[in-house]
Amino acid sequence: MTTTQELQQGIAALGLELDAAQIDKLQGYLTLLGKWNQTYNLTAVREAERMVSYHLLDSLSLMPKLDGGTRLLDVGSGGGMPGIPAAIARPDLTVVVLDANHKKTTFLRQAVIELGLTNVTVVTERVEHYQPEQKFDRITSRAFSELAEFVKLTRHLLADGGQWVAMKGVYPYEEIALLPTDVRVAEVLPLTVPGLDAERHLVRVVNA
């Protein structure tokens, strides 16, 4: 099976409807990630076949769970997951990908240019120092920190009525127990990622 076929089957399994141009952009992103990874060490996963499930489909599994939302902040985005795939899948979504690592954001800026992603802004900044003009109704991260630290560092960036949507592996019982009392877990959803034989969960956190 080619990476394109794997990607198409995975997108269908996630219940998403993406057109040929969007699939081409996801493929282009995968190619760029593989190319830059040789020098910049953006991800430990290096095989294109594994990147489809580990990075593209895992990121896209967030899409049906965004529960609306028009402004998405991806904290500690690294190589651009889940922010770049999310921006490709939802051109109507305003996405900011933020990372403090200059090498990683150099890659992200190049990817945004080459893929023509007009709905993405790249920010090189420590998240606690980031002061945008407009707050976000959805804040996500895939491998940034534990939940309590994630909430603490991004609290000033969440719009009224907004949600944190953290992507996690196994059910994070201990992390949930350590959350501050002025926020609450709205739900924890198991995620099924095609081709990925590992537990994945989405934790939706809101202000109490």
Give CA–CA dist 64/142, Å, rounded: 16
Q: Is the pLDDT of residue 44 over 80?
A: no
For residues 126 and 123, give the distance between their C-alpha atoms in angstroms, rounded to a whole number.
9
Name the phi and psi angles at 192, rounded to 5.
-105, 115
Output the CA–CA distances (angstroms, integers) from residue 1 to 5, 8, 49, 52, in the order listed: 6, 11, 9, 12
> Percent of the chain beyond pLDDT 70?
97
Express each pLDDT in 53-77 by its tens digit.
Answer: 989 999 999 999 998 899 999 999 9
* Whether the predicted pLDDT of 6 surpasses 90: yes
Q: What's the pLDDT band for 46 if we cut at 50, 70, 90?
A: low
The conformation of residue 54, written as its DSSP 8-state character, comes to: I
| Cα–Cα distance measured from residue 96 to residue 136, given in angstroms and rounded to the nearest whole number | 9
Q: What is the pLDDT of residues 76-88, one digit of tens each?
A: 999 999 999 999 9
Q: What is the mean pLDDT of the chain?
A: 94
The total number of residues shown for the chain amounts to 208
User: What tens digit of pLDDT does each residue of 103-121 get?
Assistant: 999 999 999 999 999 999 9
- Between CA 127 and CA 101 the distance in angstroms is 11
**pTM, to two decimals:** 0.96
3-state secondary structure of 157: helix
- Say how far apart CA 152 and CA 139 lie, in whole Å: 12
Q: pLDDT per residue over 9-20, tens digit each?
A: 999 999 999 999
